[in-house]
Amino acid sequence: MERFSEYRIMWVLVFFDLPTETKKEKKVYTDFRKRLQGDGFTMFQFSIYLRHCPSRENADVHIKRVKSFLPDKGHIGILCITDKQFGNMELFFGKKEANPSTPGQQLELF
């Protein structure tokens, strides 16, 4: 078994659209973002956060954790993809193609 296979390494993406009309809703939005960041997620775009995971099992732990603090209102999506799929993403700034800047890799200590 290949330990660092591009098919074993996973990326977890969390997409969300939360209401921010009231002061309370803004606090819920901010708290949700802070909890994502506290669990190692990095902002990819304004309402898209992602996290690198060394395995599907590790990704499942973080997906379960995100599900444990979902807000009562809003739309949230969670997507888990392989490193190979993530590497096939095409990024553009306007019409100009951009090189993807991969967030820092997670260290694994034994």
Query: Which residue positions in the chain have pLDDT lower than 50?
Result: 1, 110
Give the pLDDT confidence score for residue 107 in this predicted structure.
54
**What pLDDT, on a 0 to 100 scale, did the predictor assign at position 110?**
47
Overall CATH class of domain 10-87 = alpha beta
83-109 in b/e form (b: 16+ CB < 10 A) is beebeeeeeeeeeeeeeeeeeeeeeee
pLDDT score at 40: 97
pLDDT of residue 45: 94
Q: Are 93 and 40 in contact (CB under 8 A)?
A: no
What is the predicted pLDDT for the residue at 7?
Answer: 81
pTM confidence score: 0.83
